[in-house]
Structure 1
């Protein structure tokens, strides 16, 4: 399947849903936006291929809107628990290949999972955790979770490590971390085994488990 030519359905055009829909459209996808609020539909009509006022609690309404032909659908509304659950159920009944849904509580999450939703997301929680991790250690510029406890973390090299060789850092043996590389501005300048001399504000990209990454960050 050509990823640039997929069709996505987004149900709920609040801030979260509308942002996802607009970005998917920007990537070149065909996006169908659904909301029961006429104002929301009108507001975002120009940012995606197709928008429609529809009640996602009705299977027939979603079928008429073309959701059955979508490769992936996102239930982006979280405050209306009943509408969210019924929308997810209807999408599964329509045979949509992949269904994602936003949840606001643990109970909401469990129900969506029981309905067979492929991925349940908590945007506010996930963004909050991400920001807290970055705020906690000023040397951490950003990070990506890879699952199973593994992360890729972007560390800013502090003044104390300026001039040291990459191969002399204790990340491999002491902290069991893998160096993916070093970025200097927009340039890739080194990786494991290279005789790369670190400069202040270089970005060190490390792969490892959370506790090992934390211990290494604390040691800096």
Structure 2
């Protein structure tokens, strides 16, 4: 379903969000005070304008309160990030996601009502470290501080086994969400389905249980 997003701050993170959402068919308004960055994003969004993130009148003139969601991706100017968040929340924007720079910045954004606070470098660092830590982990999504979804490659020793023989839930308290390979994605697989070498298991659970399944179940 097509949505309207406004992205404020066109550094590498903000520009990437713009282009990806635009590619997915959404309407994007991109805003930055730097005219060169605005010029560079023209083909990766629906509209792009030069404006100050804390110019309330300018933001109102763009009709931002009618957008489905705002992403504040301002780089190093923490003050502008906080003021922009406050302005958008007071304007009644439905959802405001904000890139945070520091722990203190995060706390302040929480206090003024940011709907989601993002740490792109930290989140990507965790995903990369998790993949580097284990040859079995293909990808990793953090759901909360204690729960995650991981994609695990299947080793030879479990090839041709039925899913029931992995005891994913019984022994490890994890949930097998799906199995995928080069040809298909099997969501909610049957206990009678067989695992083949090279299949990727999509598993959800607590970080502790996932680690136990990775080390002992595979």
2:200 is matched with which residue?
A: 203
| C-alpha distance in 1 between matches for 2:202 and 2:68 | 34
Q: CA deviation at 1:134?
A: 1.4
**Following TM superposition, by how much is the alpha carbon of 1:107 offset from its aligned partner in structure 2, in angstroms?**
0.5
1:174: which partner in 2?
171
Q: 2-side partners of 1:153 and 1:217: how far apart?
A: 10
Secondary structure of 1:44's aligned partner: helix
- So what's the TM-score if we normalise by structure 2? 0.91
* 2:11–2:75 CA contact under 8 A, matched in 1: no
What is the CA RMSD across the aligned residues, in angstroms? 1.8
Contact kept in structure 1, 2:30 and 2:49, CA below 8 Å: yes
Cα distance in 2 between the residues matched to 1:135 and 1:103: 25
Q: Does structure 2 retain, via aligned residues, the 8 Å contact 1:181–1:204?
A: yes
* CA deviations over 1:22-45 (Å, ceiling 9, x no partner): 111122221111100111111112
Equivalent position of 2:56 in the other structure: 59
- C-alpha displacement of 1:15: 0.8
Structure 2 contact 22–45 (Cα < 8 Å) conserved: yes
Using a 3 Å threshold, how does the CA distance of structure 1 residues 188 and 8 change in structure 2: closer, same or farther? Answer: closer
The residue matched to 1:100 in structure 2 has which SS? Answer: strand
Separation in 2, partners of 1:46, 1:163: 48
Aligned length: 216
Distance 1:175 1:63 in 2: 52
The CA distance in 1 between the partners of 2:196 and 2:45, in whole Å, is: 45
For normalisation by structure 1, the TM-score amounts to 0.90
Q: Secondary structure at the match of 1:112?
A: helix
State the shift of 1:218 in Å. Answer: 1.3
- 1:70 counterpart residue number: 67
Partners in 1 of 2:214 and 2:170 — Cα distance?
15
Q: Which residue of 1 aligns with 2:40?
A: 43
Long gaps (5+) in structure 2 = none
